[in-house]
Structure 1
Amino acid sequence: MKKILCSTGALIGMPNNRDFSLIKKCVPNINSDGFEFMMYSTWYDKVPNLLKELKKCETEFPVMHCEKHIGEDLGKNADGNFYTAKEKFKVNCKIANEIGAKRMVMHLWDGIYSDTTIENNIKGYGELIKIAEENEIDLYIENVVCNHHDPLSNWKRLLNEYPDAKLIFDTKMAAFHNQMEDIYENQNKKLWENNIKHLHINDYNGGYMEWSKLKTLPVGEGIVNFNKFFDFINNIGYKGDYTIESTAFQKDGSIDFDMLNRNISKVRSYIKNKKDI
């Protein structure tokens, strides 16, 4: 059975002080099949306590989302940043192994540098994939938003160098770059056959690269045509799992569990209606 996971990033953010002890309290309130653990940059000096808290959670973390700034470090053309990226990634792999996550989602490009020097990011991938393999972790590169090229062309640049690279497709990221229709084209068929192994199911309610509208929304609150999308992935025989990431923490730090559970139910109904599981 395919699993629907909930990202801990949907639960934990600045309004609740990125308090990872809240994850354990959230788990019983969410009707997912497990969680995708999101690592934050402010937690590197708290890893022992973080692991203690995560191991108290009565759930599974089959997927971990790598800390996002690692991709930004790779993009900077400086040896010190490259070294920092690798050292941070090793810590992320250690956490993944400790919590049983065998799949790692990564923003290969991120932040202000984004994909401006994409060749640096791809060079960095060559180093990070070795570390991931040493830790028996599958590294998935996300079609994350960018400010120089576009996610699909960056994927293809990566695949030119590393044709077996594993990818994760996010519907919101694609919609932000007007690339939802592009993924259905025959020229991208091999991405689905060979590389895309996981899905982030999120909505987007803005125009082309409208940065002020980048908030992650639940299914049905934006412009993504999910009927068409689920028809497509059913027809191609997609066999991976799904993660929902719709922002549930409020300005006061409280968490909207009802919204998350409605979103999970909606995605589950899409899957069942398409006879996907």
Structure 2
Amino acid sequence: MAQILCSTGALIGRPNNRDYRILRDVCHKLNCDGFEFMMYSTWYGLEGDILKFLLELNINIPVIHCEKHIGEYISKGSKEDLAEAVRRFEINCKMAKALSVHKMVVHLWDGVTSDSNFSNNLEAYGILRKIAEAYEIDLLIENVVCNHENPMKHWMELLNRYPDIHFIYDTKMAAFHCQENLLYDDKYDILWKEKHIRHYHVNDYGGGYMEWSRLKTLPPGKGHFDFDKFFDYIRKNGYKDTFTVEATAFGNDGKIDINMLNKCFEKIRRYIG
């Protein structure tokens, strides 16, 4: 049975002081099947408090989104940077284990350095994978936006090096690089036929090719991604697992647009039947 999740990153951000306790007030107002919990770099040192809060809240969390700056440390590539990436990654894994979560979304590259030193990222995957396996976590590498090459190229490089790798496909990230139609290209059908993709982020994009100023995550239908074609393809391929909405739901005042998110969940529910 497919599950439609809400990213906690859609709810918690700088305007509301990244206060994870907001979840207590909003989680039962959202008509989703659970949450993808996103870790922030400012929360290191608070892991115990966060875990206690989430366990007491007792909400369904099938997926964790690893803290993004880990990918930036990996991209920089010094021994010290890699050591910091590994240290942080293991903290994220420990949190996932404590919450009995088995899927983890990872930005293998990130930040200004992004994919400009991709050999660093290619090597680091093997290190992260071993750690994740020790915690019984399925590591999912996202098609994160690049500033040097493109995510599909890097996915195929990773697949060539690690034939049993798993991915998470983000519709907005693909559209940013004008790669959304590669999803349906026979050249890449190994990704779907052999079930390398284990999770989807369902978000929209309203800009053009690599238009950084318009990278904001939009609700499905507010950009130009063809969701009719996307979900038709998903249905035909028999995918019935997790989807996450990440559309930013808070404004500058930090208030959360519950209605907008519920419309997103309902739209996806209609698509997947």
So what's the TM-score if we normalise by structure 2? 0.98
Distance 1:34 1:57 in 2: 12
Q: Which residue of 2 aligns with 1:275?
A: none
| 2:33 is aligned with 1:33 | yes
Q: Which residue of 1 aligns with 2:216?
A: 215
Q: Which residue of 1 aligns with 2:163?
A: 163
* Residue 58 of structure 1: how far off its partner (Å): 3.1
| 2:110 is aligned with 1:110 | yes
Unpaired runs of 5+ residues, structure 2, are none
Unpaired runs of 5+ residues, structure 1, are 273-277
Distance 1:17 1:24 in 2: 15
Alignment RMSD: 0.8
* Residue 56 of structure 1: how far off its partner (Å): 2.1
- Divergent runs of 4+, >2 A: none
Distance 2:121 2:76 in 1: 9
Equivalent residue runs for 1:34-49 within 5 Å: 34-49=34-49
Q: Which residue of 1 aligns with 2:255?
A: 254
* Residue 239 of structure 1: how far off its partner (Å): 2.9
**Stretch moving more, 137-146 or 43-52:** 43-52
Distance 1:248 1:17 in 2: 14
Equivalent residue runs for 1:21-170 within 5 Å: 21-170=21-170
Q: For the Cα contact (< 8 Å) 1:24–1:56, is it kept in 2? A: no
Distance 2:130 2:58 in 1: 31
Equivalent residue runs for 1:229-244 within 5 Å: 229-244=230-245
So what's the TM-score if we normalise by structure 1? 0.97
Identity of aligned residues (%): 53
* Residue 203 of structure 1: how far off its partner (Å): 0.5
Distance 2:56 2:258 in 1: 20
Distance 1:148 1:229 in 2: 26
| 2:12 is aligned with 1:12 | yes
Distance 1:148 1:128 in 2: 23
Distance 1:57 1:110 in 2: 31
Q: Deviations over 1:69-120 (max 9, x none)?
A: 1011111120001011111000000111111211000000000110001110
- How many residue pairs match? The answer is 272
* Residue 54 of structure 1: how far off its partner (Å): 1.2
User: Aligned with 1:208: secondary structure?
Assistant: coil
User: Aligned with 2:244: secondary structure?
Assistant: strand
User: Aligned with 1:181: secondary structure?
Assistant: helix
* Residue 26 of structure 1: how far off its partner (Å): 1.6
